[in-house]
């Protein structure tokens, strides 16, 4: 009989394990077969080698994803990438990797899929006679400004298409890389076509480093808010997720930092733990903050009817019960004091001009 190996944190990665996705017929289990080389005189294993990021090409034939969720302020979105190298352990998009036959754990942050055809596909979809413009959301699943965007520039090309078509866009990101695209976003904002939310989870670099290992550190996100606001963009902060007994104590400080940097509105989401994320988050707690594990999970259950997650509309975003009501009240009071409005997504759709339509009409003359 062989012994299973304990999960162990990898440097620069958020998830601790890489269990098979829920649709797989077989499960992967790491075991000690007796050949394990234990380095060092104390008999402890050497640090695990770092995992490299691999990027494959996504062959999707459409790029606009649609939803009918009544608790979301948008009905369409674009994700330039599948998977996210930021490695946020709590990311609610992790279970989507199971649809690809991959793990929502380490695979999600190391095996990425890029959509280099996204700008062309977007232009084709916007040109359809049946298309009706509404705000397109970017960054609602995986971050469009994750590290590989620096060299692939898919997000930048998407913005160029949207600007040419005078199409409104709302962006959520953790990355100060968004400042690279101010030459596109600033004129879009001036025309009432763009707004940005910066996700700010903690002001403590050490917590961010373990919980969101490859996302820009908090100070850079605050600087991004300041840069966006200075360029005239409607800018807000998303304090998400709020995690009981871990970062919820920072709620007011997060909002104050954002308001001081020029944010005009704010939103928040309570920690969500659907599907495989429950196990991944519990493993992370046990590895990084074992002394808080029981308290965090107990409070989460208090906001989810005794469970770790509830899927009902609206409740999934805010939770319920005394603790969830207290967070809601704290958030409302802080926003009132700081002059922050609740998150809004209204932008101008009347300027939309479908790509290629003008050229097609001229061809008829």
Sequence-distant (6+) residues with CB within 8 A of 229 are: 235, 261, 262, 263, 264
The verdict on residue 44 lying in a domain is no
The verdict on residue 40 lying in a domain is no
As averages over each run of 10 residues, the pLDDT of the chain (365 residues) reads 62 92 72 50 53 94 94 94 97 95 96 98 97 96 97 98 98 98 98 97 97 98 98 96 97 98 96 96 97 98 96 94 97 97 84 76 44
Q: What's the pLDDT score for residue 41?
A: 44
Q: What's the pLDDT score for residue 50?
A: 76
Phi-psi region of 232 (alpha: psi -120 to 50; beta: other; left: phi over 0): left
Say which DSSP state 334 is in. H
The total number of structural domains that make up the chain: 1
351 exposed, middle or buried (CB, 10 Å; 0-12, 13-18, 19+)?
A: middle
In 205-276, where does DSSP find H-type helix? 205-211, 218-230, 251-260
Q: Distances from the Cα of 89 to the Cαs of 94, 243, 246, 283, 329, in angstroms?
A: 9, 12, 13, 10, 27
Q: What's the pLDDT score for residue 313?
A: 93
The verdict on residue 102 lying in a domain is yes
Question: 218-230 and 182-190 helices cross at what angle (nearest 10)?
Answer: 50
Per the listing, tokens 């599907």 go with 275
CATH number assigned to the domain comprising residue 308: 3.80.30.30
The verdict on residue 330 lying in a domain is yes
The verdict on residue 217 lying in a domain is yes
Nearest-5° angle of CA 179, CA 183, CA 188? 100
The verdict on residue 364 lying in a domain is no
Nearest-5° angle of CA 161, CA 167, CA 169? 95
49 exposed, middle or buried (CB, 10 Å; 0-12, 13-18, 19+)?
A: exposed
Q: What's the pLDDT score for residue 363?
A: 43
Q: What is the extent of the structural domain holding 123?
A: 3-35+50-359
pTM assigned to the model: 0.90
The verdict on residue 42 lying in a domain is no
């Amino acid at each position: 009989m062989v012994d299973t190996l304990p999960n162990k944190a990898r440097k620069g990665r958020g998830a601790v394990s890489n269990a098979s996705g829920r649709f797989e017929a077989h499960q992967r289990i790491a075991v000690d077969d007796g050949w394990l080389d234990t380095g060092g005189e104390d008999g402890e294993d050497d640090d695990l080698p770092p995992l490299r990021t691999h990027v494959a090409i996504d062959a999707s034939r459409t790029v606009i994803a649609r939803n009918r969720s009544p608790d979301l302020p948008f009905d369409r979105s674009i994700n330039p990438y599948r998977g996210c190298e930021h490695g946020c352990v709590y990311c609610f998009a992790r279970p989507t990797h199971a649809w690809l036959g991959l793990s929502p754990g380490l695979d999600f942050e190391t095996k990425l899929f890029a959509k280099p055809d996204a700008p062309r596909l977007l232009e084709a979809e916007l040109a359809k006679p049946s298309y009706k413009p509404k705000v397109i959301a970017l960054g609602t699943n995986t971050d469009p400004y994750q590290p590989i965007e620096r060299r692939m520039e898919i997000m930048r090309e998407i913005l160029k298409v949207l600007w040419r078509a005078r199409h409104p866009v709302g962006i959520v990101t953790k990355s100060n890389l968004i400042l690279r695209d101010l030459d596109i976003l600033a004129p879009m904002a001036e025309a009432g076509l763009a707004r940005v939310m910066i996700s700010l989870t903690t002001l403590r670099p050490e917590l961010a480093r373990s919980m969101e290992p490859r996302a820009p550190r908090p100070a850079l996100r605050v600087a991004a808010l300041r840069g966006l606001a200075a360029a005239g963009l409607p800018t807000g902060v998303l304090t998400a997720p709020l995690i009981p007994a871990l970062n919820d104590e920072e709620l007011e400080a997060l909002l104050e930092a954002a308001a001081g940097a020029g944010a005009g509105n704010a939103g928040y989401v309570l920690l969500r733990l659907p599907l495989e994320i429950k196990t991944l988050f519990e493993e992370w707690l046990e590895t990084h903050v074992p002394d808080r594990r029981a308290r965090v999970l107990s409070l989460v259950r208090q906001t989810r009817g005794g469970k770790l997650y509830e899927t009902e509309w609206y409740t999934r975003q805010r939770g319920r019960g005394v603790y969830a009501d207290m967070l809601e009240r704290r958030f409302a009071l802080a926003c009132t004091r700081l002059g922050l409005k609740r998150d809004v997504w209204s932008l101008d759709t009347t300027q939309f001009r479908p790509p290629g339509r003008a050229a097609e009409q001229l061809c008829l003359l």
